[in-house]
Chains A and B, each alone.
Chain A
Amino acid sequence: MAMRGWLRRKKTSVKDRLSHSGEPVRVREISDQLSENIAELNAIFTLTPDLVIRTFDSRHAGGKVTLVYLTGLVDKNSINNNVLRPLLSHREGESSSIFDLLSVGKVTVVYDFQTVENDILKGSSVLFIEGRKEALVVETNGWPQRALEDPQLEASLKGAHQGFVETDSQNIALIRRYIPNRELKIKEIWVGERGDTKLSIMFLADVVNPEVLQELEDRLGRIKVDSILNTGELEEYIEDNPYSPFPQFITTERPDTTASHLLQGKIAVVVDRSPSVMIAPVSFASFFQNVDDYSIRWPVASFIRLLRYLAFIVATFLPAIYIALISFNYEVIPLDLILSIGESREKVPFPPLLEALLMELTLEMLRESGIRLPAPIGQTVGIVGGIVIGQAVVQAGIVSNIMVIVVAFTAIASFIIPNYDMSSAVRLIRFVMMVLAAMFGIVGIVVGLMALIGHLISLQSLGVPYGSPLAPVRFSDWKDLFVRLPLWKMLERPTGARTVQEKRQGDNQPEGDAK
Chain B
Amino acid sequence: MKKYAYYELSVIQYILLIHGTQVGIGVLTIPRELAEQAGTDGWISLFIGWAAAVLVSLVTTNMMKRYPDKTIIDIFHLLLGKYLGKVATILMAMYFAIASIVFIANTTAIINVWILSQTPAYIIVALFAIPAYMVVQGGMRVIGRYSELVFYLTLWMPLVLATALKDAHWLHLLPLIKEGWMPILTASQTTILSFLGFEMAYFVYPFLQKKQYASIGIVVANTLTLLVYLYITIICFAFFCPDEIVEYVWPTLNLWKVIEYRFLERIDIIFLAFYLFILSTTALPYLYFTVFSTSQLFNSRDHRKHLWVLLTLITVMAWVYTPSFIDLKKMTQTWSYAGLIFAYLLPLLAWGPIWLSKRAGGKEA
Q: What is A's interface to B at a CB cutoff of 8 Å? A: 1, 329, 331-334, 337, 440-447, 450-451, 453-455, 457-458, 465, 467, 470-473
Chain B, 242-268, CB within 8 A of any chain A CB: 262-267
Neighbour of B276 across the interface among A450, A455, A465, A472, CB < 8 A: A450
A451 and B149 contact, Cβ closer than 8 Å, known pairs A331-B265, A440-B116, A472-B10:
no
Distance (Å) between the CB of B162 and the closest chain A CB? 21
Closest to B130 in A: A451
Q: How far is the CA of A333 from the CA of B262 in the complex (A)?
A: 9
Question: Given the complex of chains A and B, what is the CA–CA distance between A471 and B13 in angstroms?
Answer: 10
- B134 in contact with A470 (CB, 8 Å): no
The contact of B115 among A333, A334, A441, A465, by CB within 8 Å, is: A441
Closest approach, in angstroms, between the C-beta of B16 and any C-beta of chain A?
Answer: 10
Q: Pick out which of these stretches binds chain A: B140-148, B172-180, B229-237.
A: B140-148
Specify which of B146, B152, B266, B305 is in contact with A457 (CB 8 Å cutoff).
B146
Contact partner of A443 among B111, B263, B264, CB < 8 A?
Answer: B111
Cβ distance B256 to chain A, nearest Cβ, rounded Å: 12
Interface string of B124-153 (1 = CB under 8 A from A): 100110110011011000101110111010
Among residues of B, the one whose C-beta sits closest to the C-beta of A451 is B131
* Residues A447 and B265 in contact, CB atoms below 8 Å apart: no
B324 interface contact, C-beta 8 A = no
Are B149 and A442 in touch, CB under 8 angstroms? no
Contacts of A473 in B (CB 8 A): 12, 148-149, 152
- In the complex the two chains form, what is the Cα distance from A334 to B260 in whole Å? 9
Q: For the complex, would chain B's binding face be called helix, strand, loop or mixed by DSSP majority? A: helix
A443 partner residues in chain B, CB cutoff 8 A? 111, 115-116, 124, 127, 273, 276
Q: Please, which residues of chain B bring their CB within 8 A of the CB of A467?
A: 145, 149
**Which single member of B134, B146, B269 contacts A329 (CB below 8 Å)?**
B269
CA distance A443 to B276 in the complex (A): 8
Q: Assess A446 versus B142: contact at CB under 8 Å? Given A333-B265, A451-B134.
A: no
Instruction: Give the Cβ gap from A376 to chain B, nearest Cβ, in Å.
Output: 45
A445 to B116, CA, bound (A): 13
A1 touches B269 (CB 8 A): no
Q: In this assembly, does B213 line the interface, its C-beta being within 8 Å of a C-beta of chain A?
A: no
Closest to B144 in A: A472
Given contacts A332-B270, A451-B130, contact A458 B115 (CB under 8 A): no
- Give the docked Cα–Cα distance between A457 and B139 (Å): 11
Q: How far is the CB of B282 from chain A (nearest CB, A)?
A: 13
Q: Which of A1, A333, A454 contacts B304 (CB 8 A)?
A: A1
A408–B267 CA distance with the chains assembled, in angstroms: 27
Chain B residues 268 to 322 lying within 8 A of chain A, measured CB to CB, are: 269-270, 273-274, 276-277, 280, 304-305, 308
Q: Specify which chain B residues have a CB less than 8 angstroms from the CB of A471 in the assembled complex.
A: 145-146, 148-149
Docked Cα-Cα span, A446 to B124, in Å, equals 13
Distance A343 CA – B312 CA, assembled complex (angstroms): 44
Measured CA separation A1–B304 after assembly (Å):
9
A-B contact count (CB 8 A): 97
Cβ of B119 within 8 Å of any chain A Cβ, yes or no, is: yes
- Contact call A450/B116, Cβ cutoff below 8 A: no
Q: Which residues of B contact A451 (CB under 8 A)?
A: 130-131, 134
A440 with B12: CB separation less than 8 A: no
Residue of B134, B269, B273, B277 with most chain A CB atoms under a 10 A cut-off: B273
Establish whether residues B134 and A455, one from each chain, have CB atoms under 8 Å apart when the complex forms: yes
Residues from chain B with a CB closer than 8 A to the CB of A470 are 149
CA distance A329 to B135 in the complex (A): 27
Q: Which residues of chain A are near B277, meaning CB under 8 Å?
A: 446, 450
CA separation between A4 and B144, bound complex, in Å? 27
Closest CB-CB distance, A498 to chain B, in whole Å? Answer: 14
B128: A residues at CB distance < 8 A: 447
Other A-B contacts than A331-B266, A458-B135, 7 sampled, CB-CB below 8 A, are A331-B269, A333-B265, A451-B131, A453-B150, A457-B138, A467-B145, A467-B149
For B267, what are the chain A residues with a Cβ–Cβ distance below 8 Å?
Answer: 332
Whether the pair A446, B134 counts as a contact (CB closer than 8 A) is no
**B150 partner residues in chain A, CB cutoff 8 A:** 453
**Contact (A447, B266) CB under 8 Å given A454-B142, A471-B146:** no
Bound Cα distance from A334 to B115, whole angstroms: 17
Complex Cα–Cα for A455 and B269 (A): 25
Question: Chain B residues near A329 (CB, 8 Å)?
Answer: 115, 266, 269
Residues of B near A331 (CB, < 8 A) are: 265-266, 269
Q: Note all chain B residues with C-beta closer than 8 A to A447.
A: 127-128, 130-131, 276
Known: A440-B127, A446-B276. A457 touches B142 (CB 8 A): yes
Chain A nearest Cβ from B108, distance in angstroms = 11
Contacts of A442 in B (CB 8 A): 115, 269-270, 273
Contacts of A1 in B (CB 8 A): 304-305, 308
- Distance between Cα atoms of A453 and B142 in the complex (Å): 10
Which listed residue (B13, B263, B266) contacts A337, Cβ 8 A? B263
A457: nearest chain-B partner, CB-CB: B145
Q: How far is the CA of A175 from the CA of B137 in the complex (A)?
A: 40
Contacting pair A334 B148 (CB below 8 A) = no
Q: Residues of A contacting B13 with CB < 8 Å?
A: 472
Tell me, in angstroms, the Cα distance from A267 to B262 when the chains sit together.
51
* A228 to B142 CA separation, bound complex (whole angstroms): 34
Contact partner of B264 (CB less than 8 A), chosen from A332, A444, A446, A457, is A332
Kindly provide the distance from the CB of B298 to the nearest chain A CB, expressed in whole angstroms.
16
Q: Give which listed residue, B115, B131, B152, contacts A450 with CB less than 8 A.
A: B131
Min CB–CB distance A481 → chain B (angstroms): 12
A440 to B267, CA, bound (A): 17
